[in-house]
Amino acid sequence: MLARTADNLYWLARYMERADYVARIVNTTRRLAALPAARGPDREEWRSALSSTGALEAYTEARGAVTPAGAIDFLVFDPANPSSIVNCVDAGRANARAVRTALTAETWDTINSGWLELNRLRGARVDRTDSEALGQILDLAVKLSLDVDGCSYRTMLRNDAYWFGRLGLYIERADNTARLLDVKYNILLPETEVVGGTLDYFQWTAILRAVSALTAYNWVYHDSVKPWLIADLLVLRPEMPRSLISCYDNIQRFLDAIARAYGRRGASQRIARHVLTRLENTSINEVFSGGLHEFITAFVEDNDRLGAEIAEQYLIH
């Protein structure tokens, strides 16, 4: 496979996963912002939303103070934000168009139809803070990502085209889950709030909903919402599809498949194995004893390094 083709497949999957994540974060933040609280005008929900998508610095440089309307526009519509929903869908569709022959007809039709529908919605010149209109766009982004994922899973051959797409999906998903956890512990809950208080409970429930994990949490733990159990679910539980360990189990599997097909291994396989082994050989108590923020920071750095090595090893031509 040409490196250019692999690169387009890899980034198609990353952009679709990112659009889904940003849509879920915006939806979750809208719910959190609607909760009554005695914190006045300095509520941090939208700042945390921008931070968890890696867009806070770019937002403040371009727009200054964080406002709900400004954050929504930046995360959903702004062409200057590479991670905005419309930019992700545009970029994903462009990647898919460049490699149409490597995709099944069903996968291409799903991406193209979703892109056309998004253009119709954003071209309607609706009030971008209107709850119903915004909800339609957010629902479309989530549905499009799920449909593309399902089409790929159900219709594509299990060959290098499929494997590079899966790599992109799980690299992006691992990054998103890690950043979400880090932001919750360091930004979302203000210092004046009590861990385990009413606000904390609703914030954590909203976070679980953001990654479709609320039902899974109840099935696994049969307990009330507790921060350390949520961290355990999203970091170390292999049966949770968005957990860090589940992502890296899949990353290792698909990197091994590529290595067998191409007859050689490299730095990307070594890094993935190192990260997976670290996750397999730790406990949530060890994670917290060393500091969750420090653990997540190291993980994100390793994930970024793995992405760079995958690009160097396979995607740069």
Q: What is the pLDDT of residue 228?
A: 85
Q: What is the mean pLDDT of the chain?
A: 88
State how far Cα 112 lies from the chain centre. Answer: 21
Question: What six digits make up the tokens of 194?
Answer: 């009590």
Domain boundaries along the sequence of the chain: 1-155, 161-317
**pTM for the structure as a whole:** 0.90
pLDDT in the model for residue 281: 96
Q: Is the pLDDT of residue 183 over 90?
A: no
- Least confident interval from 186-195, 199-208, 232-241, 307-316: 186-195
pLDDT tens, position by position, 231-272: 999 999 999 999 999 999 999 999 999 999 998 899 999 999
- Average pLDDT of 188-204? 56
CA distance 20 to 206: 16
pLDDT tens for residues 124-140?
A: 655 555 677 888 999 99
pLDDT of residue 181: 87
pLDDT reading at 162 higher than 60:
yes
- Classify the phi-psi angles of 282: left when phi > 0, otherwise alpha if psi is within -120 to 50, otherwise beta: beta
Is the pLDDT score of 170 beyond 60? yes
pLDDT of residue 130: 63
Quick: pLDDT tens for 86-126.
Answer: 999 999 999 999 999 999 999 999 999 999 999 988 876 55
